[in-house]
Amino acid sequence: MDQPKTIHELTTDLASKKISVTEVVADYLTKIDQRNGELNAFLTVAAAEAKEKAKEADAVIAHDPDIFTKKPFFGIPVGHKDIFLTRGLKTTAGSKVLANYIPQYSSTVVKKLEAAGAITLGKLNCDAWAHGASGENSDFGPTKNPHNLDYVPGGSSSGSAAAVAADLLPFATGTDTGGSIRQPANFCGVVGLKPSYGRVSRYGIVAMASSLDSIGHLTHDVYDAAAVLEITAGKDPYDASTTDLPVPTYTKLLDQPLPKKFKIGIAREYLEGLTDKDVLSSLEAAKAILARMGVEVIEISLPHTKYGIAVYYIVQPSEVSSNLARYDGIRYGNARASFGDEAKRRIMIGTYTLSAGYYDAYYLKAMQVRTLIRQDFDQAFGEVDALLSPTSPTPAFKLGQNTADPLAMYLADVYTVTANLAGLPGIALPTGKTKENLPLGIQFLTAQYTEEKLLNLAYHFEKTLHGK
């Protein structure tokens, strides 16, 4: 297989007329044709529309060669997790409830990427309603890990990770409520960026848990992660939770040298109970790379880490139960009987934790412990610039391994959920592979709304890893 092309490499090729948009789009559609049968990464392929847009794009390039400076993603294919509304293009959220839903409008992120010139190739499989860590909760069948078809790609942005890893797309959008971008990126060996809560608009994206949902993307490298964020980030009048902090030009800040005395913390609570030898060795390898970069790594404490999953499995289902209450099959979609098992479980957990008499013991208590988790991070970022951790306690697991035990599946989110509870940005980076050819990786976190710092670190880490 050829080395996958990044967005910036494709742009160089397109701008120098080495290849046309029509050829780029046709190439990806051919690869999708060849591999989607076994991977089940795409739920909808918009082949005809994409070819038409490619033809129009080539016509624009012919008379306006400067178009690439005006539209940074001109002619670049993209796929969207199937919970991003796309006007006129079926959007299912991976659920039979929305099996035939054709949105009347597009989400802000889809609009922004289209305005930057990106061409939508299709919609990507995911755990139904983004509930899951394996892709197996999709009502339209599981996605497979392109590195080994017996293994899960992770979830819930399962199709996004598998499609980018298999080079069926140069990049894909995803959402991360408890790790749903970072964990599948880790399982599939691609870069997964979860921006801070409020950095990217949630408008027009099927809501899972409104105080936790972060909108991000999966790419081949850190440069592309920065380039996509530069387009998607910013205040949106249609999402009142977006911050009006200015959006830095992330790509221009990437190769700045890291600040002197840059310090990274590893929480000792993250190491307790971490037994997987491959994950431990990938963490050691990451520490060695950081040492080569001249970065100091120290042990710190995040004392409330062990309560992260418990807080998350109260806050998240509570918000899920109220968000999914709107699906009544009247204005659009099918009746509530079409909800799958995992959605039903979460609706019931949330309904219970919010019900009269239990609110104080569950939801209020969880919000209070959420405060303590957030304070842990505030304190940590007083001591260090960034945090290093595994992304998941294990590499990808086999299909079917955890499906009968929801709690075991939930515990796979232990390193990712706390960033959502505290609203922090995080990035999952690939570091290598196991003997079984399964990807390994690590995660960096920084303080809220410091994506430029996170990406700066990730960029240098990636460069040093590749010996550049």
Binding positions for another protein, rule: CB under 8 A: 101-102, 104-105, 197-198, 211, 237-238, 240-243, 304, 307, 309-311, 313-314, 321, 325, 328-334, 336-337, 339, 341, 344-345, 347-349, 351-352, 355, 358, 361-362, 364-372, 374, 406-407, 410, 421-423, 448
- Indicate if 282 belongs to the active site: no
CB of 45 to another protein, least distance (A): 22
In the bound state with another protein, the residue whose beta carbon lies nearer, of 153 and 178, is 178
| Cβ neighbours of residue 134 closer than 8 Å, sequence gap 6 or more | 127, 142, 152, 153, 154, 155, 158, 397, 399, 402, 403, 409
Token look-up 């950095």 returns 199
Cα–Cα distance for residue pair 54/43, rounded to 1 Å: 21
Residue type, 52: E
* Residue 156 appears among annotated catalytic residues: yes
Nearer to another protein among residue 153 and residue 317 (C-beta): 317
Active-site residue (options: 95, 180, 196, 214): 180
Contact of 30 with 16, CB cutoff 8 Å: no
CB of residue 310 vs another protein: minimum separation in angstroms?
A: 4
* Nearer of residues 100 and 256 to another protein, judged by Cβ: 100
Task: Let me know if 107 is a catalytic residue.
Answer: no
Alpha carbon separation from 332 to 83, 86, 98, 206, 287 (Å, rounded): 15, 15, 8, 13, 51
Q: Name the active-site residue from 81, 112, 123, 453.
A: 81
- Considering beta carbons, is residue 18 or 344 the nearer one to another protein? 344
Q: Output the smallest distance, CB 339 to another protein, in A.
A: 7
CB 42, CB 94: distance < 8 Å: no
DSSP state of 103: -
> Active-site residue among 106, 107, 156, 201?
156
Q: How far is the CB of 206 from another protein (least distance, A)?
A: 14
- DSSP secondary structure of 305-337: GGGHHHHHHHHHHHHHHHHGGG--SSSSS--GG
Residues paired with residue 174 on neighbouring β-strands, in sequence order:
216
Bridge partners, 432 (sequence order): 440
Beta carbon of residue 417, minimum distance to another protein (angstroms, whole number): 13
Nearer to another protein, 253 or 354 (CB): 354
Catalytic positions, written as ranges: 81, 156, 180
